């Protein structure tokens, strides 16, 4: 214990050890060596336990000492909170004014001119309140915001004048009034966008100016929260330099502890094509490749990098034209992601890595051939036997990869030989528990659908089909077709199971399926069987 100063008394009573040793007198003139202390077992024991013993006096002293405040962190947190409060207030007031515009158009359509005039004046007061709020929260308001404020107030005054005239004379020139409403709406939207952009810019600037790790965590957490508010806010963050600042932060060695959180912020922001383009522009793809291929980088950071890859390769984004650097390094990225899937024991890291691989198989057809060379099916089947891939979300990604690879002829035999058929049939039997969330039930639907699609593609002759029948695949296909609750009322699962069942029966005949099921699920046209099994009246495209 560093705060405890020890001094042995000048004279200690003679202590005899259990062994026969000559008696010695302890003097403070010369410190005792370890060999000499071994002659006194009690003293040796006491000395060895001191580092683990907490003395009450020391605790009292420690409790009485004030903790030094982290001035940098407190200052940054206060500043961040100021910007966040301003952003939230601006968005709240802007939302109310936007609703006011909708009311104005309703009054206009119903020719309620007095109500239109009254509501216009109320909305003008709301706009003025928003401008005052902006000036109160933003020091040194930029000139372009001040100019836009003047434009909005001028357009508001014109609208009030026109609505007042309409209410007084009950005569309206509809086209000029509609144009004025439109001009004001556009001017107001531009003002709100400018204000939010400026506040976000100040927040992003703190990423570049802060060197304190705790303060940076506060800033990044708030950026992540903003990114979760929607695509428009992510666009503003990217436009105001958020992507560039986060990429630069990941490259700074003096704040390496923030790299994991910065990568998570990047994954949150890059949900729009413009944000992905910004990441490409700032050489963010090279950064991700460096992190994924560097063995000295800890697994948690590599997992977050895999999360960014999964986000920017999401099939819902139309961003393929921006990923030129990504396409050039596809083999390196896939190898790194598969290596991460193999070595990790954590569910989240496996999920993010597998999701990235699954997304890549959608956007680049050559990926399946590369995965075949890297023996991805064997690795994924083996991983599904471990705890890290037991969740429905992880199985969803594995089923996606296998289904996309099964569409490539050269990959099919490799999937069959490594136990892929058995794994896919087991995926068909997946059921969410009674307390599952909506997300888990949706994941279960996707697992069932993709497993059925993969099995249909892999069943090319009677030998392969027999494995599916042996694993009781046909009864499960029939159950998913007949029982809407088993497939969570999913029409996508129904169509996939009908198609797979027909493929199996076409190759192996009627063995394993009853005459009634064959006549209703296999013999008719696919649409007829679908309509019979489906509980909805809508057509499935």
**The pLDDT of residue 494:** 95
Angle between helical axes of 174-209 and 231-239 (0-180°, round to 10):
60
**The pLDDT of residue 403:** 96
Which of 34-48, 170-184, 439-453 tops mean pLDDT?
439-453
Q: Could you tell me the pLDDT band of residue 312, with boundaries at 50, 70 and 90?
A: very high
The proportion of the chain whose per-residue pLDDT surpasses 70, expressed as a percent, equals: 85
**The pLDDT of residue 168:** 83
**The pLDDT of residue 37:** 60
**The pLDDT of residue 55:** 57
Report, as an integer, the average pLDDT of 132-149.
86
Q: Would the pLDDT of 169 be above 90?
A: no
pLDDT in tens, 464-493: 788 888 888 999 999 999 998 899 889 999
The proportion of the chain whose per-residue pLDDT surpasses 90, expressed as a percent, equals: 50
Query: 534 by DSSP, 3-state: which?
Result: coil
Angle between helical axes of 392-406 and 347-363 (0-180°, round to 10):
30
pLDDT in tens, 20-65: 444 444 444 556 666 666 666 777 777 777 666 555 555 555 555 5
Rounded to a whole number of angstroms, the distance between the first and last alpha carbons of the chain is 73
Domains of the chain: which residue ranges?
A: 76-198
**The pLDDT of residue 361:** 93
CB-based burial label for 365 (10 Å; 0-12, 13-18, 19+): exposed
Which of 93-107, 443-457, 496-510 tops mean pLDDT?
443-457
Report, as an integer, the average pLDDT of 295-322.
85
Q: Please report the DSSP string for 222-268 in residue order.
A: HHHHHHTT-HHHHHHHHHTTHHHHHHHHHH-GGGGGGHHHHHHHHHH
Query: 171 by DSSP, 3-state: which?
Result: coil
Residue 262 contacts residue 221 (beta carbons within 8 Å): no
Q: Distance from CA of residue 464 to its chain's centroid?
A: 38
Torsion-angle region of 464 (φ positive above 0: left; ψ -120 to 50: alpha; else: beta): alpha
Structure token pair of residue 359: 């997304």
- CA 505 to CA 193: how far, in whole Å? 60
**The pLDDT of residue 67:** 53
**The pLDDT of residue 8:** 41
Query: Higher pLDDT residue, 211 or 308?
Result: 308
Q: Which helix (H) or strand (E) holds 387?
A: none
CB atoms within 10 A of CB 15: 14
In 275-331, DSSP assigns E strands to none
Length of the chain: 541
Residue 133 contacts residue 93 (beta carbons within 8 Å): yes
Sequence-distant (≥ 6) Cβ neighbours of residue 479 within 8 angstroms: 486
Gyration radius of the chain over CA positions? 34
Report, as an integer, the average pLDDT of 229-249.
93
Torsion-angle region of 16 (φ positive above 0: left; ψ -120 to 50: alpha; else: beta): beta
Q: Is the dihedral of CA 312, 315, 317, 321 positive or negative?
A: positive
Report, as an integer, the average pLDDT of 66-81.
68
Upper half-sphere CA count for residue 338 (Cβ side, 13 Å): 23
Q: Would the pLDDT of 5 be above 90?
A: no
Q: Would the pLDDT of 451 be above 70?
A: yes
- CATH 1.20.120.330 assigned to domain 76-198? The reply is yes
Q: Could you tell me the pLDDT band of residue 11, with boundaries at 50, 70 and 90?
A: very low
**The pLDDT of residue 458:** 92
Structure token pair of residue 305: 């990098």
Sequence-distant (≥ 6) Cβ neighbours of residue 237 within 8 angstroms: 200, 204, 223, 226, 227, 243, 269, 275
Q: Would the pLDDT of 247 be above 60?
A: yes
Q: Could you tell me the pLDDT band of residue 187, with boundaries at 50, 70 and 90?
A: very high
CB-based burial label for 262 (10 Å; 0-12, 13-18, 19+): buried
Query: Higher pLDDT residue, 211 or 353?
Result: 353
In this prediction the pTM is: 0.79
Sequence-distant (≥ 6) Cβ neighbours of residue 481 within 8 angstroms: 494, 497, 498, 501, 521, 529, 533
Residue 354 contacts residue 396 (beta carbons within 8 Å): no
- CA 541 to CA 529: how far, in whole Å? 14
Residue 371 contacts residue 334 (beta carbons within 8 Å): yes
pLDDT in tens, 355-377: 999 999 998 888 999 999 999 99
Report, as an integer, the average pLDDT of 493-500.
95
Residue 246 contacts residue 206 (beta carbons within 8 Å): no
Average pLDDT, the chain: 84
- CA 415 to CA 256: how far, in whole Å? 40
pLDDT in tens, 373-394: 999 999 999 999 888 998 999 9
């Amino acid at each position: 214990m560093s705060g405890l100063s020890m001094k042995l008394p000048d004279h200690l009573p003679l202590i005899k050890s259990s062994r026969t040793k000559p008696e010695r007198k302890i003097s403070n003139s010369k410190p005792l060596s370890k060999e000499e202390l071994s002659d006194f077992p009690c003293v040796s024991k006491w000395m060895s336990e001191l580092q683990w013993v907490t003395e009450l006096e020391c605790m009292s002293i420690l409790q009485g000492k004030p903790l030094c405040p982290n001035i940098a962190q407190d200052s940054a947190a206060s500043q961040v909170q100021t910007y966040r409060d301003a952003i939230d207030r601006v968005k709240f007031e802007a939302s109310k004014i936007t609703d006011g515009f909708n009311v104005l158009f309703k009054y206009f359509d119903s020719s309620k001119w007095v109500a239109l005039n009254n509501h216009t004046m109320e909305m003008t007061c709301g706009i003025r309140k928003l401008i005052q709020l902006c000036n109160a929260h933003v020091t040194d308001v930029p000139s372009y915001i001040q100019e836009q404020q003047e434009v909005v107030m001028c357009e508001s005054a014109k609208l009030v004048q026109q609505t007042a005239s309409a209410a007084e004379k009950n005569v309206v020139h509809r086209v000029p009034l509609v144009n004025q409403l439109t001009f004001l709406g556009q001017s107001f939207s531009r003002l709100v966008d400018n204000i939010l952009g400026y506040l976000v810019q100040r927040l992003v600037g703190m990423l570049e100016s802060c060197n304190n790790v705790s303060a940076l965590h506060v800033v990044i957490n708030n950026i992540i929260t903003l990114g979760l508010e929607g695509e428009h806010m992510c666009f503003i963050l990217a436009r105001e330099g958020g992507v560039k600042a986060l990429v630069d932060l990941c490259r700074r060695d003096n704040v390496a502890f923030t790299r994991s959180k910065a990568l998570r912020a990047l994954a949150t922001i890059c949900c729009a094509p413009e944000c992905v383009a910004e990441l490409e522009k700032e050489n963010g793809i090279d950064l991700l490749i460096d992190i994924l291929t560097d063995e000295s980088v800890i697994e948690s950071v590599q997992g977050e990098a895999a999360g960014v890859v999964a986000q920017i390769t999401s099939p819902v984004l139309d961003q393929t034209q921006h990923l030129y650097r990504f396409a050039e390094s596809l083999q390196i990225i896939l190898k790194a992601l598969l290596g991460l899937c193999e070595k990790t024991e954590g569910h989240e890291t496996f999920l993010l890595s597998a999701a990235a691989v699954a997304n890549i198989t959608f956007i680049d057809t050559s990926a399946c051939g590369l995965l075949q060379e890297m023996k991805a099916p064997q690795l994924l089947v083996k991983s599904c036997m471990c705890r890290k891939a037991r969740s429905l979300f992880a199985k969803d990604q594995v089923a996606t990869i296998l289904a996309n690879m099964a569409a490539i002829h050269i990959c099919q035999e490799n999937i069959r030989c490594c136990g892929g058929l058995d794994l896919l049939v087991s995926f068909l039997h997946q059921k969410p528990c009674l307390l599952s969330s909506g997300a888990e039930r949706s994941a279960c639907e996707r697992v069932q659908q993709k497993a059925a699609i993969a099995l249909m593609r892999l069943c090319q002759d009677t030998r392969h089909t027999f494995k599916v029948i042996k694993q009781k695949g046909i009864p499960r296909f029939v159950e998913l077709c007949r029982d809407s609750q088993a497939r969570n009322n999913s029409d996508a699962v129904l169509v996939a199971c009908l198609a797979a069942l027909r493929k199996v029966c076409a190759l192996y005949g009627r063995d394993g399926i009853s005459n009634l099921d064959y006549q209703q699920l296999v013999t008719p046209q696919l649409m007829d069987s679908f309509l019979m099994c489906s509980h909805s009246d809508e057509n499935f495209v």
